[in-house]
């Protein structure tokens, strides 16, 4: 037997006991005749002591071990002298007096130190992922990921949801993101697609009467990756029949309440705040607002539309808005230069400028203050709750640009100014999403969530006349400014689904070819159903306090969708291509 105990679990209760340990050498110090080793396993660290007097054979071995060697030791647990106690270590009041030691496997010097907060380049971390994962914060993150999924599974099991696997080799339905394709050998020229979500299958499970389904499902999108995207990601997929939105949201809230209590010991209260999409956009300029701080967007359009400031006037006249955020008490802190930098920031969201006013005893100060008469200025101050020392920042533009730029600026300023209490978990539902949005490039409406989302019944008559005004029976769960996931009541009637496809510009033929099996299924006794899909990677990221999705995934890919550890993707043999009836149709581009 390699070991009787885990390193990090030894306590003073073990003092006097004979134990065996196995693990990795974290650190080794030779104090002349006595060698101290910090021994590490998954559970943590413990100090082991090898004395040349009492354990001469073990000492000879200990003399040769180096960092990351795998060793096994046996000996007695003893209490440390008071002056040797290490309070930073959970096992810091004890140590193991080694009697025997064996080297299980040697190690080369790792390319970076196995500890947190290392300043190692990302690509080195990814190439040596098996060493990167030895760092305590990586171990803790994967442990938390395990606890999170375990809790979710337990909760859903208790609520009667069945864990049902849906296929990974599915059919390509090029609506939405780009599919990863898998050539078929048996059917030359044909392809499977990896699922972007189990959407169609979970709906078919509802048609099949499974009633309550969940799956922690791998999903795939062949998109150009940003820092917080991965080509494969994991979704907590939940769907139920005889669905009603409010009880379903309550059940999800209860899951979140129990989950964050269990994995973080944080108490949150339910029901969570609910806010319509319209309100969220108006107040926070975002459909996933971080409500851990205020600094809301204030609409000044009506107040300033008659002012002499042309920029504001014209924005409102052109159907746009003038909005401001009040950066409380920061008038002094932001110089013109600092504000210019904020203007550059908002310009990335399309804002043509960032107007500003500072408030002091005498009223508004700043280059545009002259454009507002006393009455207007008073109204502006009232609307923004401006007080002495405040900084007001304005964007005047189309509604979308105002929302995007001030929404992002609000978050940036809160971070810069330390306004966010990182210990708080602030859940929020966003409801009444628009069903459709107009895609200028495609010249047609596209589904805001997906084409299977049920319109709000009172809006359904507008589907053909004013598609942009139709609201969806859809909701997003937001946590600390991140979209944790979204869901909806689904369409379960063939006629409404056909109308939806038509609204999205599908011909009848294309709707039948791509989704005919679903339309057919709806005719065989389909119950009302709905559900939600939560991004597991993001949930783990937020709850574990990491800043990158990659850190929540054991073997992630780079922004160019490569695995630096295994070197995937890679070239394959001509035989493999031939079997798949494929040819590469352009010369390989040098990377």
| Residues annotated in a binding site for ATP | 221-223, 230, 483, 535-538
CA dihedral 15, 17, 22, 27 (to 10 degrees): 30
CB of 354 closer than 8 Å to CB of 348:
no
Least distance (Å) between residue 194 CB and a second copy:
7
**Cβ partners under 8 Å of residue 248, min gap 6:** 240, 487, 530, 531, 532
Compute the distance between CA of residue 484 and CA of residue 272 in angstroms, rounded to an integer.
14
Q: Give 153 or 398: the residue with its C-beta nearer to a second copy.
A: 153
Q: Residue 383 or 562: which CB sits closer to a second copy?
A: 562
Residue of 74, 226, 128, 199 whose CA lies nearest to 548:
226
Owner of token pair 């280059």: 367
- Residue whose entry in the numeric block shows the structure tokens 């999170």: 148
Round to whole Å and give the CA distance between 269 and 358. Answer: 38
Q: Which residue, 41 or 459, has its beta carbon nearer to a second copy?
A: 41
Nearer to a second copy, 44 or 467 (CB): 44
CB of 287 to a second copy, least distance (A): 28
**Cα–Cα dist 458/477, whole Å:** 23
CA 463 to chain centre: 33
Give the nearer residue to a second copy in terms of CB position, either 80 or 171. 171
Residue 78 or 563: the one with the smaller Cβ distance to a second copy is: 563
Q: Residue with structure tokens 């005749």?
A: 33
- Listed in sequence order, the DSSP H helices in 418-493 are 462-465
**Least distance in Å: CB of 152 to a second copy?**
11
How far apart, in whole angstroms, are the C-alpha atoms of residue 343 and residue 352? 8
Identity of the residue, 107 or 419, whose beta carbon is nearer to a second copy in the bound complex: 107
Is the distance from CB of 286 to CB of 278 less than 8 angstroms? no
Distance separating alpha carbons of residues 400 and 285, to the nearest angstrom: 8
Angle between helices 536-543 and 245-264 (to 10 degrees): 40
Cβ of residue 453: shortest distance to a second copy, in angstroms? 18
The alpha carbon torsion through 542, 546, 551, 553 (nearest 10 deg) reads -20
- CA 31, CA 7: separation in Å to the nearest integer? 22
Token reading at 203: 């709906």
Indicate the helix (H) or strand (E) that contains 142.
Answer: helix 136-158
In angstroms, what is the minimal distance from the CB of 185 to a second copy?
A: 6
CB of residue 445 to a second copy, shortest distance in Å: 21
Q: How many residues does the chain have?
A: 591
Q: What stretches of 418-481 adopt beta strand conformation (E)? A: 427-431, 436-439, 444-447, 474-479
Q: What angle do CA 453, 457, 461 make, to 5 degrees?
A: 100
Of the pair 83, 524, the CB lying nearest a second copy is at 524
Shorter beta-carbon distance to a second copy: residue 183 or 363: 183
Structure tokens at 359: 């408030």
Closer of 130 and 438 to a second copy (Cβ):
130
Taking the least distance from each CB to a second copy, the nearer of 125 and 288 is: 125
Q: Whole-number minimum distance, CB 589 to a second copy, in Å? A: 6
SS3 for 257? helix
Reading the block at residue 129, the tokens are: 């992922």
Q: At its nearest, how many Å lie between a second copy and the CB of residue 490?
A: 12
Minimal distance, residue 448 CB to a second copy, in Å: 24
Which residues are known binding-site members for L-aspartate? 175, 221, 449, 490
CB of 514 to a second copy, least distance (A): 9
Q: Who contacts 193 (Cβ-Cβ below 8 Å, separation ≥6)?
A: 170, 171, 172, 173, 179, 180, 181, 182
Q: What is the dihedral of CA 86, 91, 95, 98, to 10 degrees?
A: -140
| Choice between 345 and 555, CB closer to a second copy | 555
Closest CA to 564 of 186, 39, 120: 120
The answer to whether 445 and 506 have CB atoms below 8 angstroms apart is no
Nearest distance from C-beta of residue 557 to a second copy, angstroms: 7
């Amino acid at each position: 037997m390699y070991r009787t105990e885990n390193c990090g679990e030894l306590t003073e209760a073990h003092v006097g006991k004979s134990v065996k340990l196995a693990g990795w050498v974290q650190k080794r110090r030779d104090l002349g005749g006595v060698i101290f080793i910090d021994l590490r396993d998954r559970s943590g660290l413990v100090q082991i002591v090898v004395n040349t007097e009492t354990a001469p054979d073990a000492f000879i071995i200990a003399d040769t071990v180096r960092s990351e060697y795998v060793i096994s030791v046996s000996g007695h647990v003893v209490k440390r002298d008071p002056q040797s106690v290490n309070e930073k270590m959970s096992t810091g009041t004890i140590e193991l007096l080694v009697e025997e030691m064996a080297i299980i496997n040697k190690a080369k010097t790792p390319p970076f130190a196995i500890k947190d907060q290392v300043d190692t380049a990302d690509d080195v971390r990814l190439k040596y992922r098996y060493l990167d994962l030895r760092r305590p914060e990586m171990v803790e993150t994967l442990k938390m990921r395990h606890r999170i999924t375990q809790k979710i599974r337990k909760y859903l099991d208790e609520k009667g949801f069945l864990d049902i696997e849906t296929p990974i080799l599915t059919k390509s339905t090029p609506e939405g993101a780009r599919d990863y394709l898998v050539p078929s050998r048996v059917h030359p020229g044909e392809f499977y697609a990896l699922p972007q979500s189990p959407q169609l299958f979970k709906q078919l499970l509802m048609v099949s009467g499974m009633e309550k389904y969940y799956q922690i499902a791998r999903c795939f999108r062949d998109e150009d990756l940003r820092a917080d995207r991965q080509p494969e990601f994991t979704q907590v997929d939940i769907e139920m029949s005889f669905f009603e939105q409010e009880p379903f949201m309550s059940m999800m809230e209860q899951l979140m309440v129990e989950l964050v209590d269990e994995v973080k010991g944080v108490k949150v209260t339910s029901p969570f705040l609910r806010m319509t999409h319209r309100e969220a956009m108006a107040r926070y300029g975002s459909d996933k607002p971080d409500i851990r701080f205020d600094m809301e967007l204030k609409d000044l359009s009506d107040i300033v539309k008659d002012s002499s400031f042309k920029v504001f006037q014209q924005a409102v006249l052109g159907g746009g808005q003038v909005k401001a955020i009040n950066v409380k008490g920061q008038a002094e802190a932001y110089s013109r230069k600092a504000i210019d930098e904020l203007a550059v920031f908002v310009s990335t969201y399309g804002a043509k400028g960032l107007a500003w006013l500072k408030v002091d005893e005498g009223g508004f100060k700043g280059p545009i203050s002259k454009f507002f008469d006393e009455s207007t200025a008073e109204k502006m101050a009232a609307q923004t709750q401006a007080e002495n020392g405040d900084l007001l920042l304005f964007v005047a533009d189309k509604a979308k640009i105002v929302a995007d730029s001030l929404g992002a600026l609000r978050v940036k300023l809160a971070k810069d100014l330390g306004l966010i209490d990182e210990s708080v978990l602030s859940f929020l539902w966003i409801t009444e999403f628009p069903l459709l949005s107009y895609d200028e490039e495609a010249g047609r409406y596209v589904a805001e969530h997906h084409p299977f989302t049920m319109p709000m019944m009172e809006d359904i008559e507008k589907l053909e006349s004013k598609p942009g005004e139709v609201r969806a029976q859809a909701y997003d769960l937001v946590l600390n400014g991140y979209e944790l996931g979204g869901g909806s009541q689904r369409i379960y009637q063939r006629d409404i689904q056909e109308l939806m496809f038509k609204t999205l510009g599908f011909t009848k033929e294309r709707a039948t070819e791509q989704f005919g099996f679903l339309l057919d299924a709806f005719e065989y006794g389909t119950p009302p159903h709905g559900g939600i899909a939560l991004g597991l990677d993001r949930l783990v990221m937020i709850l574990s306090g990491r800043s990158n999705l990659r850190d929540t995934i054991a073997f992630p890919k780079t922004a160019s969708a490569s695995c630096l550890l295994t070197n995937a993707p890679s070239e394959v043999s001509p035989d493999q291509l031939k079997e798949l009836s494929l040819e590469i149709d352009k010369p390989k581009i040098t990377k």
